[in-house]
Chains A and B, each alone.
Chain A
Amino acid sequence: NAGVMQNPRHLVRRRGQEARLRCSPMKGHSHVYWYRQLPEEGLKFMVYLQKENIIDESGMPKERFSAEFPKEGPSILRIQQVVRGDSAAYFCASSPMTGLGGEAFFGQGTRLTVV
């Protein structure tokens, strides 16, 4: 059972381009979280999704950011018209459920650099 797979591991974009970050959860996991981490800082919640549904997007900027978790395929975090301040590590985590047994398994992250 492969772990949570994120790709690409490193992504460089010029200001104004689009960044698409992919996350394949562990097999059997229907809950996906996206977190952003700046250097020397903690994990900032962005969005929580279940299959085909956005459950909580309270941590995601209203503009330029969107996320989806389709019925088939990976979860996608999209950042349009990137700016330098979007440079960060973006971690995806999946879990099989909430509550007992709902520990989150993290991917290795995508390190986005905007130049």
Chain B
Amino acid sequence: KNQVEQSPQSLIILEGKNCTLQCNYTVSPFSNLRWYKQDTGRGPVSLTIMTFSENTKSNGRYTATLDADTKQSSLHITASQLSDSASYICVVSAGFGNYQLIWGAGTKLIIKP
């Protein structure tokens, strides 16, 4: 069964600190992996997308990594800001022409001043 699991469920860190969120998946055939940011009361917004051949991709202070062999991805946030408080969702695409999106439950990140 295709699954995406994220950890931790929630995380609280102080402003200015770094953090890493994890995503493990069992999806076949793998097409790509995307990280979304979802602010409270808003819809998800795409942060990065990574294909099988990409190991690292950055978007400002956000850096996503992908290890296709171990089927793991991480999202690293550097020098956190209060505006980073949100849920971060990992989504894996299974298949190609008629693909399916497998959504993780998300990690809720709270940045404290």
A and B part of one assembly: no
Q: Which residues of A contact B (CB under 8 A)?
A: none
